[in-house]
Structure 1
């Protein structure tokens, strides 16, 4: 009797749009990469103790991993501060990543045009674990001068419109898994946060976008996006509230956001065709 042939994991990946492999990963590599993730904007040098605290890894494990990362050039040991800083290879990787973002290159002129025309902030972000990471953003300051939010800046998924837009764009299985990962970060406050996430999901189903006030004095509106290659994004507009109520501002600018998303999608489809 002939055994049924199963689709290869590469075929499954192509047909489902989700990465699938049956081979096991490297736990040591995952732990080493978690040390690199511990470095965030504003972090210069971290000791083994600080890395252990940030990653919840045992100190002996951290010591072995930092030794390997120094040998490979991903970390450099600072003799004066007696800790580790990122190696220059990380900057090369960041540059390589940015140069590969053709979708961002196509979107930026449209984002800039709206930001300049309406004096608002427009950004495009991708999820990374429990954060959203800005690929780029055109910012309008209160003094009327443009400034660019540093690409790579991170904001939390659970309490921001960008993050909630990302959640809305996931499959039910993916969303459930991410929510389970987010819940421990908020402890007893999770019930309130989860209710706000459900409210944002309902907004997106009804209007295509959601809004949130996670920073005092401003409101942010976001919508999920996906390029023809399958990469998920979240696009947002943010602006100061001053003395105005947030909800009317969100409603007023929601149509602008959705029009911008439509223009970007059209440009992406044209480029991919």
Structure 2
């Protein structure tokens, strides 16, 4: 899900701040406009998605292409993400020491439950998977590292919300309300339900809500005394993962995995 800044002109740009570089911000908005599975976008599409005037988009795409962050297809007259973005992504992942610590614990749970286990981090109104471990059983959905899923309608997203402080959560929920006022009543109800589940069980549930055939449990990972919040989920086919299995089996096992990861992080001298 992409949430553009919608800067139609300077009057709708963010408040004046002498330290804020608008050109840089607009360039980053263009890069964010590329969604999962969308290889090529043209200047008109990028302008529509970001609200940046098309002449400005043309200059930005030219510059980003010269720097290697975009690749231009002359036949299509469109752009795709370039190797520069991939290099930045790998550097980010390489610096996420939690992945190395979490992976063996996640894979063990995936193998013993035949479920998909994912570690995610929030980016605006979506969760981005930074590590995914698959079980050996049949997969309903194959999501990989880099996949983005909505926060409000998924177990992992709502678990992330549960990990926030009350002021942080209130601020984020207000952003969601302003973004989707017509759907807010239903969205708010599911979020309230997840907050209650977390208080009761120590994890959140999603039973065919985001995808009809998928059910999951999820738990927040509160790192560095709340400086960073991530989340873990465990999911699979709804036909196999009924309510009792989620509550009595997968939820407690995922909670144990989270506790082991946090304990190992506390003893990691590099963090």
Q: What range describes the TM-score normalised by the shorter chain of this pair? A: 0.7 to 0.9
Which has the higher relative contact order, 1 or 2, with Cα contacts under 8 A spaced 6 or more apart?
2
Show structure 1 runs of 5+ residues with no match.
1-21
The Cα shift of 1:243 comes to: 6.5
TM-score of the two chains, using structure 2 as the length reference = 0.85
Inter-partner Cα distance in structure 1 for 2:167 and 2:158: 16
Q: In the TM superposition, what whole-angstrom CA distance separates every residue of 1:183-235 from its partner, at most 9, and x where no partner exists? A: 24434121111111011011112221111131112211111112337321101
The residue aligned with 1:259 is 256
Q: 8 Å contact 1:45–1:84 — kept in the other structure?
A: yes
> Partner of 1:239: helix, strand, or coil?
strand
Distance in 2 between the 1:215 and 1:141 partners? 21
- Please give the secondary structure, in 2, of the residue aligned with 1:236: strand
Equivalent in the alignment of 1:205 = 199
The gaps in structure 2 that reach 5 residues or longer are 1-16
Say which SS state the counterpart of residue 124 (structure 1) adopts. strand
Report Cα offsets for 1:43-94 as digits up to 9, x if no partner. 1111011101211222222222222212322122210110112221111111
Correspondence 1:25 to 2:4? no
> Which of residues 160, 166, 175 in structure 2 aligns to 1:172?
166
- SS of 1:215 mapped into structure 2: coil
Q: CA deviation at 1:23?
A: 6.6
Task: Say if 2:222 is the partner of 1:226.
Answer: yes
Check conservation: 2:118, 2:129, Cα contact below 8 A. yes
Determine if contact 1:125/1:136 at 8 Å carries over to the other structure. Answer: yes
Partner residue, 2:213: 217
- Three-state SS of the structure 2 residue aligned to 1:140 is coil
Counterpart secondary structure, 1:29: helix
SS across alignment from 1:24: coil
Q: Number of aligned residue pairs: give it.
A: 250
Q: Does 1:112 align with 2:107?
A: yes
8 Å CA contact 2:220, 2:230 repeated in 1:
yes
Equivalence map 1:48-127=2 (5 Å): 48-127=43-122
Question: How far apart, CA to CA, are the structure 2 residues paired with 1:67 and 1:244?
Answer: 49
Alignment partner of 1:241 is 2:238: yes
Q: Equivalent residue of 1:271, what SS?
A: coil
Q: If you compute each CA radius of gyration, which structure gives the higher value, 1 or 2?
A: 1
Q: Deviations over 1:83-133 (max 9, x none)?
A: 112221111111111211211100100111111112122111000011000
Match of residue 149, structure 2, among 155, 168, 174? 155
Quickly say closer, same or farther: Cα 1:216–1:138, change in 2 above 3 A: same
Partner of 2:268: 271
Q: 2: CA distance between counterparts of 1:28 and 1:172? A: 34
